[in-house]
Amino acid sequence: MLATDIDPRFLQALSFPNLEVRQHDIRHEPLPDQEFDLVHARLLLMHLADREAALKKMVAALKPGGWVVLEEFDHLAFLPNLQPNSPNDGLKLRDAFEQVLTSQGIDQRYGRSLAPRLNANGLVNVAAEANGSMWKSGSAGVSLFKLGCEELRGAIVGSGLITESEFEADMKRLDEPDFFLASPIMWTAWGQLGGG
């Protein structure tokens, strides 16, 4: 089994005898051809400028009959005034975060395109499903959102969409016990390389 990442430090902490961890940038480095029965990527393609080239590398890495499984967010659930606590209690931070992501080339609607992309790459038995949830304060989902906001703090505040004090107030709001946030939709799509 091969696990790759541009920053594999978390993968290297795993201890499985059949796992090889490799630092790898799919944008610039090849994958082995026709070597894998399964290729899986989660929350990767939406972040890449040349998503199609990366997907073609994944498909080329499949053995005949092998499967590719892709999971990507789609921010379809992030609509104005969706905050469930009250109609006027939306987070300015969330809207600014989303706009900064888009300005950096992240395709926040990529999840819904997974199945058509797999079809276009010649895979068969293509299917997809989508799931969403409500993220409560203290949940892994809210923690993920907070980490993303902290990572992009400079760009978010620098965008002029939110002030530093609004950023801080909304970050505190994320920790309040009554807080809920609609998650992005997680699309999972899969397809099989013919000939197996």
Cα–Cα distance for residue pair 44/71, rounded to 1 Å: 8
Closest CA to 54 of 117, 99, 105, 104: 117
Instruction: Classify 67 as helix, strand or coil.
Output: strand
pTM value is 0.83
Cα–Cα distance for residue pair 40/36, rounded to 1 Å: 10
Cα–Cα distance for residue pair 33/123, rounded to 1 Å: 16
Closest CA to 181 of 97, 66, 55, 61: 97
How confident is the model at residue 78, as a pLDDT? 52
Domain annotation for the chain: domains and CATH numbers: 1-30 (no CATH), 32-192 (3.40.50)
Cα–Cα distance for residue pair 44/73, rounded to 1 Å: 10
Do the Cβ atoms of 66 and 76 come closer than 8 Å? no
Mean pLDDT, range 6-23, rounded to an integer: 87
Q: Helix and strand tally (H, E) in the chain? A: 6, 8
Residue 105: enclosing H or E segment and its boundaries? none
9-13, 44-48, 54-58, 94-98: the lowest-pLDDT one: 9-13
CB-side neighbour CA atoms (13 Å) of 185: 20
C-alpha distances out from residue 75 to 18, 27, 108, 187, 196, Å? 36, 24, 6, 10, 35
Is residue 174 pLDDT above 70, yes or no?
yes
Is residue 152 pLDDT above 60, yes or no?
yes
Is residue 98 pLDDT above 50, yes or no?
yes
How confident is the model at residue 181, as a pLDDT? 86
Instruction: Classify 127 as helix, strand or coil.
Output: strand
